[in-house]
Amino acid sequence: MQITIGENTLELLIGDITKQATDAIVNAANGSLMGGGGVDGAIHKAAGQELLQACRRLRKEQLNEEPLGTGEAVITPGFKLPASYVIHTVGPIWNTHNPIQDIQLADCYQNSFKLAKEYKLTSISFPSISTGVYRFPIERAAKIAMRTITNYLQTVDFGQVRMVLFSETDFTVYKSALRNIICSS
């Protein structure tokens, strides 16, 4: 599914984010930036050891060895990936006692766009942040992601945005969230 918003395109597809040749791909990282399972593990594996080294350097030089905060984003080269850059962002771990988790998830998308813009990038691929090991309910995450991305593209000339879903089921959820937004606007 592909739609046009101003000068921008937003595409939803089923695929592997490590194969996307957009300027940047976004990693649903954990705060340590040291890799992990899921999409994080797949990205580190495909990018090669240099990515881990770059993340280590970044932790030291930009984060003073602190973990990256939830909703925040940092950027590294893509090394062996077809994408030139990886934007690492930390999604919220689903927790009904956290009143700001929706905002934190929206921040992941917004801060990724902010970095991409700073680097003058014009294409970006996102995975479904927080809906794997972090257990954020996917219907809710999809609404937040699609609302945040479409709002952003309505106000900024960015370029091309891909939402790369890893299963047919996830794709269907995001497609319906996007359709609801289009129909209600």
* Beta carbon nearer to ligand ADP, 135 or 179: 135
In sequence order, which residues have a C-beta less than 8 Å from that of residue 27 and are 6 or more positions away?
39, 40, 43, 86, 87, 88, 89, 127
**Upper half-sphere CA count for residue 93 (Cβ side, 13 Å):** 5
- Asked if 28 is part of the footprint of ligand ADP (rule: CB under 6 A), the reply reads yes
Name the catalytic one among 16, 23, 40, 102: 40
Which ranges of the chain would DSSP assign to H, the alpha helix? 38-47, 49-61, 101-118, 138-155, 168-184
Distance of alpha carbon 158 from its chain centroid, rounded?
A: 15
Q: Determine which residue in the list 126, 166, 171, 174 makes contact with ligand ADP, applying CB under 6 A.
A: 166
Residue whose CB is less far from ligand ADP, 21 or 157: 21
Could you tell me the smallest distance in angstroms from the CB atom of residue 170 to ligand ADP?
5
Q: How many CB atoms lie within 10 A of CB 141?
A: 26
Minimum distance of ligand ADP from residue 59's CB (angstroms):
18
Does 70 participate in binding ligand ADP (rule CB under 6 A)?
Answer: no
Residues annotated as part of the active site: 40
- Would you tell me which residues interact with ligand ADP (CB under 6 A)? 16-18, 28, 38-40, 42, 91, 127-134, 164, 166, 170
